[in-house]
Structure formats: structure tokens, C-alpha cells
Structure 1
Amino acid sequence: MVTELVTNAYRHTDTKAISVRLVLENGYFVVEVEDRSDVAPVLHGENATAESGRGLLMVSLLVDEWGVRALDGGGKVTWARLHG
């Protein structure tokens, strides 16, 4: 889940500096990936013939919850939560 969220930030934004935060919060492992883009990631449906674009779908199937939070000064944090 960490590598997929970081890869999405790297491949789909112009951000050169990506921040990653890993925390244990109320019994959940939480991954937060911050980038400077205001564009939210897009969860695509299943496509058996696609050669890419399924990473966020895989993340959504593996974690308990995921989402995006806009930052006040621009940019966003994409996060995922997995029960420990």
C-alpha cells in the first residue's frame, strides 16, 4: 500500500518532493502520502486487459479505508488505514 500510494504521487503529479508518514493510530496502521497537486487520485474499475491503472483498486481491496484530504496551502494527503 505504501509503494502504490507513493508511486501514484510520483507518476501522476508534478511534485518532486513527496512526504510519507506512517503511524499507528487507534489500532490501525495509517499511511499518509503528501504531494503538492490538488488533483485527487482516481479509482478505476476492473479492466482485465489494462496494463496499468489498477494499483489504487488493489489498495482499496486490501485496506479497511482510504481517502484524500486537501491541504490548506494547496496539495493533498492520500491516506490508507489498515487494521493492525
Structure 2
Amino acid sequence: MFRRRIAATRRGARLARLLSVQQLAEWGVPRGSDASDTAALIVAELAANAVVHAGVPGRAFELGLTLRARVLRVEVTDTRADKRPVAAPPPPDAESGRGLLLVEALADRWGTVEGGAARKTVWVEVGI
């Protein structure tokens, strides 16, 4: 299991993606493989959402990775339980808002869990 608290900044979201790729490589999932690239994309989207939509100034988000029986579980915990993600299509002319649709398409399963005062975890499971 890998778990790390990361600053809720755009740089922190990038760091989450890089740390995920590094951890997967340490677990034997090669960089640049379809599995690594899929995981990186999922982490990037969840981390960006934690920063842009659920970030609270001065508070970090938490990244968790678990690999068991060729199933990767990604968890991103932020400090905004009131901001629950929805994978709904944005208006056709919108420049953003499609990230969770992409996560939903890549994931075998995904969901959210409330975790105490002002916290929620968005989790994704994907076979690799």
C-alpha cells in the first residue's frame, strides 16, 4: 500500500501522477505500459478535481494506491465532503468537465465514500 499527503495545488496534482507512476514501476508495472498510462490518467484527473473543485486553501489531499491480484485501487481523499463528483456530460460548448466521464470509461468500478468531518474519498478500481 502507498499513501501520501500532497499539497492541494496544481503542482501537487502533477506530483500525485508522477508518484503513482513511480510506485507502479516499483510494483513491477512498467512505465509507459497501458496499465501505467491508464493509472496515471486516473490519478491525474482525481488529483486535479481534488485541487480545483474540492481544494481548501492550506489543506492537503491524500493519495492512496493499493495493488492486489492485478487490481489497482486509487483513492484520493479531499477536504470537501459537500462537493461530490458526478460523471455527467457537460454542455457541448464547455471547455472542461469531461474528466470523470473518462475515469468512468477507464474504471472497472468507482465511487465515493464520506469520511468524517469535511472529508470524502473518491476511489477507482481498474484491472492492470
Normalised by the size of structure 2, how large is the TM-score? Answer: 0.60
Cα 1:25/1:72, change in 2 over 3 Å: farther
Shift of 1:44: 1.7
Which of the pair has more CA radius of gyration? 2
Distance in 2, matches of 1:41 and 1:8, equals: 9
Aligned 8 A contact 2:90 2:96 in 1: no
Higher helix share: 2
Identity %: 36
Normalised by the size of structure 1, how large is the TM-score? Answer: 0.88
Show CA shifts across 1:40-83 (max 9, x none). 11212265432100000001001101100000233100011001
Question: Which residue of the partner structure matches residue 3 of structure 1?
Answer: 44
Higher strand share: 1
2:66 to 13, 23, 35: 23
Root-mean-square deviation over aligned CA pairs: 1.5
**Runs (4+) off by over 6 Å:** none
Q: Structure 1 stretches of 5 or more lacking a match?
A: none
